[in-house]
Structures are given as C-alpha cells and as structure tokens.
Amino acid sequence: AVEVSGDVYGGISSMYLWRGDDLSSGKAVFQSGADVSFKGFTLSYWSNLNLDTEQLDETDIVIDYSTDLGEMLALSVGDILYSVSGATTHELYLGLSVKTLLEPTVTVYYDIDAAPGDLFITASVGHSLNLGEGLDLSLGGLISYIDTDAFSDLHNFELSAGLDYAISEQLTLSPSVIYSTPLSDDSDNFAYGDGIDDEFMGGVTLTLSF
C-alpha cells in the first residue's frame, strides 16, 4: 500500500516577515500552502498574498528529504524554488537536528541561482508543552548568520510562541507570534538593501491534515 500523508493550510499574518525583513511594508498578508509526504520525501507549495495590494507576490516550491541518522541525529536536505514578483532563484539547504532536550538544529541555506554563493545559517531551539486535551504550546528561539558579497555578519535573533488547538483529529487552529531583532550593524543598515529593524508579527493559521 502507498502511504501518503500531508496537509493544506491558510492563515492571516500582520506582515510577511522573512529572515527578519518585513517584506510587506507592515501590511497584512494571507499565506497558504500544502505538503505531501511519501517515504521521507516531501513536496511543498507555499504562497503569499498581500492583502493591501491584492497581489500574489510570491510562490515557493520545496522538495525535501528527511531521515534519521541513528538514534540522536535527524537530517533534512532540499531545494527551495522562490518565485518573487516574476523573478526566481534556487536555494539548497541542509539541516541537522539533535533529538534531545530543546531539539537544537543547525540549518545552512546556499543560493545557487540569482545570488550564487550567498549563505544563510540558522541555529535554533524549541520546546513543546501539552496544556491539556487538544492544546499544545510551542516556544522557540533562533539566531542567524548571513554571508553575501556585501558583508558577512550575525543577522537576527528571533523568539516565537504558538498555540495548536485541535478542533478535530484533522483540523488545527494555530495562533502565533514572532519577535525579531537585528544582531549586527551590517544587518541593521545594509541587509536586503536598507537593513532590517525590530519587528513583531502575529498571525493565525488553520490546517487540515490527511
């Protein structure tokens, strides 16, 4: 038997926050996507709709392979195809997670297309708590490092919190918040053209799993 699993989801966020950068100029967005998994492989689709301009300004396709490396390590490798306002690029990534308290994870992203050689590295931790039947709290922290032709430096720090409320066995409602702040003068002033700022994002997502 072919065992396929996946989900479809959609949600509203107060902004499109990507690697500490507000890509929607503080305007609300609708973000949706779908994932289909089979024997460690996952094909994902994701999109961003700017609710102010009513433009679908980004769609991404991700191919991922994830597997366990023994009892303590987990590996994920993949390719992200970004399509942003008609321009495209490919980014390869490799992530390693330690299956222990806080699940520390290091992920390396490497652009091979529009910005060849650009490197982005994240180190993150996370923890989930069950608050009762059908209700879970997730907490996370992340720091990042960026390496481009213009500069190489620490990039941003993020704190995140989210609730997952199981409406049914397949339907989950998930409010969440993220706070991000730059970690260097380079990222504050020059990253992505005009630098990144302190940002606070809130949103809610509805997910149907199958």
DSSP letter string, 148-204 = -SS-EEEEEEEEEEEEEEESSSSEEEEEEEEEEEE-SHHHHHTGGGT----EEEEEE
CA dihedral angle for residue 85, residue 88, residue 34, residue 163, rounded to 10 degrees: -70
Q: How confident is the model at residue 50 (pLDDT cuts 50, 70, 90)?
A: very high
What's the mean pLDDT when you consider all of the chain? 97
Please enumerate in sequence order all residues whose Cβ is within 8 A of that of 26, keeping only pairs 6 or more positions apart, or say none. 14, 15
Which token pair is 202? 């809130």
Q: How confident is the model at residue 2 (pLDDT cuts 50, 70, 90)?
A: confident
Residue 86 has pLDDT above 90, yes or no: no
What does the pLDDT look like over 115-140, one tens digit per residue? 999 999 999 999 999 999 999 999 99
What does the pLDDT look like over 177-193, one tens digit per residue? 999 999 999 999 999 99
Q: Is 90 helix (H, G, I), strand (E, B) or coil?
A: strand
Per-residue buried b or exposed e for 57-75, using 16+ beta carbons within 10 Å of the residue's own CB: bbbbebebeeeeeeeeebe
Average pLDDT (46-67) is 97
Residue 13 confidence (pLDDT)? 98
% of the chain at pLDDT higher than 90: 97
